[in-house]
Chain A
């Protein structure tokens, strides 16, 4: 009887351990992506490329993953700037419908986009994105920034403070060269280097720049 009780206890313990480990395990493999789209005046015309990236990312998402698209404007630290967000259901067929709806929402936003913002608050968008990603509890968190990475803040906006991005991978996509960059490439390289230092010092797990739109799979390459 005592042996049986012990055996039962052992089975219960193993079951509990497996259940707990499974919860952690499941979250560890989930993926969450927060895509920031620069809608400033200089970058607004690149929006169709952003749609391509969104469609590509949608194609790679699996049931259980989370995805959000937000715009970067003069002040971007707000939920209102999130254009569309979704956590895909476990049913693969229903997840396909969610992807279609997501794409339609982004398309509507792109069609309605008439005028670019005066300033570019990338840091605000990153902080908002980090918060969203941490909320999902996903194991693999990525912020994709579709921008020329030139931050322009108005005088009232304060962003010169340390930010927290632990465990988040940051990928800058389609970082276009500005006219001044063409004159002096050090400006472009310096800008990228500055962002790299900023995100890595904030605790980001990785920093990457992908400019070749034909090889978007590099976004997820380790």
Chain B
């Protein structure tokens, strides 16, 4: 071990002597060694820099792709929203304005009737006949004491009075009739008012829808133009959707977990207990999970066929007849599975009761009859049955948050990947720079080790330079690169 020691027993001195011996060789190998260091450093820092560039380029490309997907998805969403608005308008027009000619005709009829009635109400009783004027003139003749004339005048006066009374009563009756006609106006006015209000509401609703469409169209335009604002809005919206959907899925997962425990134990009576299939899971557990997955799948199909979710374009594009068939098939299977769960809930109660009885027997030595406490003892089993029936249907609604989760996860994941690529790119760039400086430091360290030789070299070079300047005036043979880059003389 100690064979290298030139001065036996003195490691320090031996090392120093060895170093002094090796120093000329180190000086001789200075250039190749510097080259080796630089090559080594470049071999590491070059790929790092390349990797960094690739990371940044991939991040840019990925962001572009994310943007395209995001915009396409956003356009699809907005198209659906606009479609829905148009459907609403269509339904409104069909329902309300479809009967508009009838309403108009009704309005016109009512207006005509009101006019006629108004005309009628304006009619005055006919004036007294022409002969009444003649009689009136005669009535002005003075009797002059003639009894016959007086009698005639008296008769005329009586006739006139009669006529007057009749005319007055006629006039009053006429007024009464006109008042009646005017009174009959009010329902028509009310009806008119109501019709006009309905028309007004429909028009307002139409205006609202039109405004909403305008807003959506603006957004659509922004998405077509691929503006940064639209991208930010959609990304933020996707992030919120992702969080909400994840939360709802978590809650639904809790429900599924409860459901699993509800049916796993009784399943052992159907498929057998104690038989572990894979990953420590019993056959009963797997069977229970299969039932849960089937319920979730049927729920998914039900939601798809109801066109609530749009995860499967083929189902979505089915004709209405086929879609309805699929809907009924999914519902029937879901209903059947819910029924099976109810039966399993009863079975579970039965098994638990049997287990409790056995344990009591084992502990106490004899079977203890359970006292029947009436309907109260049936509450747990009833609760289990209700849960068993309701949970599969509740699980069906899992499809809605699942769809949101899947679509928003694409965006969130994309944004995450872009960030990751950027961070990695930055990290590689930093590492590359560190490696470069490390290479420099290494070459300088090498020169520090052989500094006496470098000092001598510099001295001779200075001498040579001054001799050259004074003598031939030739320029030094050192290259700029050699002075500053690879030789490392600047440290001395």
Contacts and interface: CB of A to CB of B under 8 A. Distances in A.
B379 to A, nearest CB: 24
A141 to B, nearest CB: 16
A91 interface: yes
Contacts of A88: 274
Interface residues of A, number: 26
Given A18-B278, A22-B278, A25-B279, A91 B272 contact: yes
B351 A93 contact: yes
Contacts, number: 66
A96 B355 contact: yes
Contacts of B273: 62-64, 90-92, 95
Interface string B329-368: 0000000000000000000000100110011011100000
A103 interface: yes
B230 to A, nearest CB: 43
A90 B358 contact: no
B466 interface: no
A26 interface: yes
B269 A93 contact: yes
Contacts of A90: 268, 272-275
Interface class of chain A by DSSP: helix
Nearest to B280: A29
A99 B358 contact: yes
Contact of A93 (B274, B275, B354): B354
B351 A92 contact: yes
Nearest to A54: B362
Interface in A96-133: 96, 99-100, 103
B277 interface: yes
A99 B362 contact: yes
A63 B354 contact: no
Contact of B358 (A25, A91, A100): A100
A65 B274 contact: yes
B74 to A, nearest CB: 38
B437 interface: no
Interface in A12-62: 18, 21-22, 25-26, 28-30, 55-56, 58-59, 62
Contacts of B378: none
Nearest to B271: A90
Residue among B272, B278, B282, B358 facing the most chain A CB atoms (10 A cut-off): B358
Given A55-B362, A59-B359, A26 B268 contact: no
Contacts of A29: 274, 276, 280, 282
Contacts of B358: 59, 96, 99-100
A28 B278 CA distance: 10
A26 B275 contact: yes
Contact of B278 (A21, A62, A95): A21
Nearest to A21: B278
Contacts of A18: 278
Contacts of A100: 358, 361
Contact of B362 (A21, A58, A62, A65): A58
A62 B275 CA distance: 10
A99 B269 CA distance: 16
Interface string B258-302: 000000000011001111111110100000000000000000000
Contacts of B268: 63, 90, 92
Nearest to B367: A100
Contacts of B351: 92-93
Contacts of A99: 358, 362
A25 B362 contact: no
B274 A30 contact: yes
A88 B276 CA distance: 15
A56 B362 CA distance: 7
Contact of A26 (B269, B276, B355, B359): B276
Residue among B268, B280, B355, B362 facing the most chain A CB atoms (10 A cut-off): B362
A59 B276 contact: no
A47 to B, nearest CB: 14
A92 B326 CA distance: 38
Nearest to B266: A92
A92 B279 CA distance: 22
A92 B359 contact: no
A18 B276 CA distance: 12
A99 to B, nearest CB: 6
Contact of B274 (A22, A56, A64, A103): A64
A145 to B, nearest CB: 21
B275 A64 contact: yes
A28 B274 CA distance: 11
A63 B268 CA distance: 9
A22 B277 CA distance: 4
A151 B359 CA distance: 34
B278 A92 contact: no
Contacts of A93: 269, 351, 354
B354 A96 contact: yes
A25 B359 contact: no
A55 B363 contact: yes
Nearest to B281: A25
Interface string B367-404: 00000000000000000000000000000000000000
A103 B359 CA distance: 12
Given A59-B359, A96-B358, A100-B361, A25 B269 contact: no
Contacts of B361: 100, 103
Contact of B276 (A25, A55, A92, A95): A25
Interface in A127-168: none
A164 B172 CA distance: 132
Contacts of B276: 22, 25-26, 28-30
13 contacts: A21-B278, A22-B277, A25-B276, A26-B276, A30-B276, A55-B362, A55-B363, A56-B362, A65-B274, A90-B272, A92-B354, A96-B358, A103-B361
Given A99-B362, A100-B361, 4 more contacts: A22-B276, A25-B280, A26-B277, A30-B274
Interface of A: 18, 21-22, 25-26, 28-30, 55-56, 58-59, 62-65, 88, 90-93, 95-96, 99-100, 103
8 smallest beta-carbon distances between A and B, as pairs: A64-B274, A90-B272, A63-B273, A63-B274, A55-B362, A29-B276, A26-B276, A22-B277
